[in-house]
Structure 1
């Protein structure tokens, strides 16, 4: 086992003139750091591939809580997604390909994090996980925080599963209670979470419609099983969507949303009594509205973020059982290519996830 490894670390912008926001862009560097030594309740995983999430961009803008910066005595390694090989001996998954649970201190309670005295956190340059991240040759994780990778997934596909799969599974099933025959709207199709939510819904027999500002993304969604889609920049998109719904069930049972803003008002005529809006983000930077008309229809708005280890394992098992193949937009080769991945996410034109292989 080597003593040193390469890792992508987050470095604080020099000076004191920067402030959190989209104009800030903290540097990243490929550094040689010590290979971590697992504790008794941990295993060492050799990373085969990793993947980007929007939180990585937010961290470079100082818009993600708990973010820490690199120091030689305390590395701050980016990345939450990984597929790898357990190299620690004696583990039941030793020498097998595994997916790494992206979070800690949330085991199974559907209500929220459930480890007393310990703070929930995500891998990748945050204090809650001691700066451990997956953009490195090796990562140390809890011995119970790995699950065997479904055989049908390529390395690049597998790497994109953890955080997006966990987030979409919780938003779709734990929160929105999606089941066979339901009519579901997924907003902002194109990102990894929304696409996996679409694939999950289709896999269990739900009917899905999507929104996007891109006709090309709507077409791609239809190829993945969506019944149709509307351009959310059209002022009358709710009316367009209403005409697409089946005459036998001309309403929505659930909406899975990442945008926030006036969605509640826009869906007043479309949501059935008791429908659920499952919101896992607010990219409009505006709170999701709750007009009185939705109150009178007993509509529920449910916030959803990340999820438990049990939900992560359930997501992976569903992907394996239904042979779901996550959509990969781009695959970059080596840590030196990482900046390209950040720029792809900043531009927002991708359909699916951005992966990173050969982590040297």
Structure 2
């Protein structure tokens, strides 16, 4: 059984070069590698596993959130002298290898993906992402944390979807977009914003994009032809006469201070994340004028909505839209590629990408 993991330095030294990499997070160089392990025991007839499912993974992908998981794992492992590791990974797909005796919603052989429902408990299990270790080639899940993948989605696509779809659909539901609204999607080339845009195809609104770097915006406009315009932060190109009814924002600490004066009355500002997640970035955040920020929101009667993931219904609704609009996969990596290539492409280091990057087990 393989898994992608943060590893101790002693273990890192024993792994072949193509299967390991030092990932840089601020001032840290953290050792990660593909490791070999033993599949978990699963007794299908036992009471212990009655409500559980053993999944053999087909693919997995990393998200921005994994950088925080990687840093947190390294803080616990960096002083260890023994060979040990912490498996990582967020999104995944896989086939059911075995089921517990109480499981009726899934069958052996079904292709499944994670169900990240949040914040309410569903299906008799706890809310949130099914696992922080989803690169594990074999993993046991409660049946309620999985959904069967429809035929029109491949195993590679399914390994990149759950978190993005569930988050984007929930945010658009909460944004209550009306006909003719001006909708701004920030960080237009990010993976999260790709899911926002894919959910906006058939809504009768005016969609604009915002980019911090200004890179690769043309390829986004070519794919999402309904986008009216893309503005650049660095060039200060947001038109003075355009104000927004809805903002869908993946990195509120970057964009909210800039956009608080560009919102219409009764605007809805919906965000699902922050950019400054690492310990180094958090301690070096530039101060903002909080009274001015709050005043701008208050005088416009803006609704500021924080969002984490979504419901099962959000996931199913979002998946339905992929019947007509396929998820864009930038790259697929396998064991014939180096780990460095996969990580660098995933986090857009040294090479441009558009769409998700997926690792496929073969």
TM-score between the two structures when normalised by the length of structure 1? 0.76
Equivalent position to 2:28, from 5, 23, 27? 23
- Is residue 259 of structure 1 aligned with residue 260 of structure 2? no
- Contact 1:9–1:31 (8 Å) recurs in 2: no
Equivalent position to 1:62, from 67, 72, 91? 72
Take 2:7 and 2:41, find their aligned partners in 1: how far apart are those partners?
A: 20
Deviates more, 1:286-295 or 1:159-168: 286-295
Take 1:307 and 1:65, find their aligned partners in 2: how far apart are those partners?
A: 30
- Is residue 301 of structure 1 aligned with residue 307 of structure 2? no
- Contact 2:59–2:94 (8 Å) recurs in 1: yes
2:2 aligned residue: 6
Runs of 4+ aligned structure 1 residues displaced above 6 Å come to: 63-75
Take 1:166 and 1:66, find their aligned partners in 2: how far apart are those partners?
A: 30
Distance change (3 Å), C-alpha of 1:207 and 1:12: farther
2:310 aligned counterpart, secondary structure: coil
1:148 aligned residue: 148
List runs of 5+ in structure 2 lacking aligned partners: 11-24
Query: What's the CA shift for 1:122?
Result: 2.8
1:182 aligned residue: 181
Instruction: State the aligned residue count.
Output: 325
1:25 aligned counterpart, secondary structure: strand
2:201 aligned residue: 202
2:53 aligned counterpart, secondary structure: strand
1:122 aligned residue: 129
- Is residue 281 of structure 1 aligned with residue 280 of structure 2? no
List runs of 5+ in structure 1 lacking aligned partners: 15-19, 126-132, 243-249
Where do residues 75-114 of structure 1 align in structure 2 (5 Å cutoff)?
Answer: 76-89=86-99, 91-94=104-107, 95-101=109-115, 103=116, 106=117, 112-114=119-121
Distance change (3 Å), C-alpha of 1:270 and 1:21: closer
Take 2:266 and 2:73, find their aligned partners in 1: how far apart are those partners?
A: 34
1:203 aligned counterpart, secondary structure: coil
RMSD between aligned residues? 3.7
Distance change (3 Å), C-alpha of 1:34 and 1:96: closer
